[in-house]
């Protein structure tokens, strides 16, 4: 769910300065160091391999029936510039055919971008235990960048049907640490790219997550990359930016664990985020945004199957 944009005033450019000349610092995430599918045996389902685009087919059970063409064009333009940051997930159907499990929108955008090879995770859809072990093993590697760690956490939750709490137990991390990594995936593609290739630190990313406006996040990211700002210097920039539009809000009190579990369970049935706001007295609101009647039907079926 997109958050409401916060008033940032008219002096964004003046506050943040010039960010021209950054393109020579950025290079697309191309996964050129990864093997092409079929050249390694066996294939590690936790690693990324490159698959020729003509060997991939959509999933006939894909619940999303329509794709916003304008949004696809925008994603394709981003992929041309930055590469595909989040690989798709497929399963092997035959020696030369793979079927999409998740990531059809990214797959379509890659085709629009003219890619002939697409980075993908390959999983055996019938063996969840092996997949879980492979992903956990992958997370324990020391050379993973923060986005790879976040994507691995996301895969454990989505593909192995785990809650954040269960997943934290699997990888031996505190739930708060897992949540902080997953939040990185909410950042714009440009910011994720710079974090992935080491132009930005996790500390910088956490500060950027405190800004609700995506364009401001990208602009601030540009400033960090160009001027080599420290985390403290970035915090000062953010404070200056927020004070130019409105007073910086006081931080919200963390939600009790039960609320997080509610968000996790209900969120599985909807493509968009759901939000929950709670006052100190326990009163609050929960907002669910959905894209189609099919999402609501799936949610209703789940309620009926559970006799709720």
Q: Which residues are annotated as catalytic?
A: 104
Report helix, strand or coil for 295: helix
Helical ranges in the chain per DSSP H: 12-16, 69-82, 104-112, 128-139, 146-159, 164-171, 175-183, 189-196, 202-208, 214-227, 231-245, 257-267, 293-305
Q: Give me the phi and psi of 199, to 5 degrees please.
A: -80, -15
Q: Confirm if 270 and 286 have CB atoms less than 8 A apart.
A: no
Distance CA 216, CA 305 (A): 44
Strand-pair category, 56-57 with 97-102: parallel
DSSP characters over 135-193: HHHHHT-TT--HHHHHHHHHHHHHHTT--HHHHHHHHT--HHHHHHHHHGGGS-HHHHH
According to DSSP, residue 252 is labeled P
Q: Is the bond preceding residue 112 a cis peptide, omega within 30 degrees?
A: no
């Amino acid at each position: 769910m997109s958050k409401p944009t916060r008033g940032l005033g008219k002096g964004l450019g003046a506050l943040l300065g010039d960010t021209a000349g950054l393109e020579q610092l950025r290079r697309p995430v191309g996964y050129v160091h990864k093997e092409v599918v079929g050249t390694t045996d066996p294939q590690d389902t936790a690693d990324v391999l490159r698959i020729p685009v003509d060997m991939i087919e959509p999933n006939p059970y894909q619940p999303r029936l329509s794709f916003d063409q304008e949004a696809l064009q925008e994603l394709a333009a981003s992929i041309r510039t930055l590469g595909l940051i989040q690989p798709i997930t497929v399963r092997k159907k035959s020696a030369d055919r793979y079927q999409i499990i998740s990531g059809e929108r990214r797959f379509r955008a890659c085709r629009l971008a003219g890619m002939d090879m697409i980075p993908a995770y390959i999983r055996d859809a019938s063996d969840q235990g092996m997949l879980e072990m492979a992903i956990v093993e992958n997370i324990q590697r020391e050379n993973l960048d923060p986005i790879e760690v976040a994507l691995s956490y996301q895969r454990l939750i989505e593909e192995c049907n785990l809650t954040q709490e269960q997943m934290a137990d699997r990888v031996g991390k505190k739930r708060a640490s897992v949540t902080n990594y997953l939040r990185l995936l909410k950042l714009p593609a440009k910011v994720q790219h710079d974090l992935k290739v080491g132009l930005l630190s996790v500390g910088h990313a956490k500060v950027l997550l405190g800004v609700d406006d995506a364009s401001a996040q990208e602009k601030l990211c540009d400033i960090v990359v160009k001027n080599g700002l420290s985390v403290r210097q970035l915090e000062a920039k953010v404070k200056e930016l927020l004070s130019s539009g409105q007073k910086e809000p006081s931080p919200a009190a963390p939600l009790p664990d039960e609320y997080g579990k509610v968000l996790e369970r209900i969120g599985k049935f909807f493509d968009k985020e759901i939000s929950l706001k709670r006052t100190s007295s326990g009163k609050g609101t929960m907002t669910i945004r959905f894209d189609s009647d099919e999402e609501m039907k799936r949610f209703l079926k789940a309620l009926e199957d559970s006799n709720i």
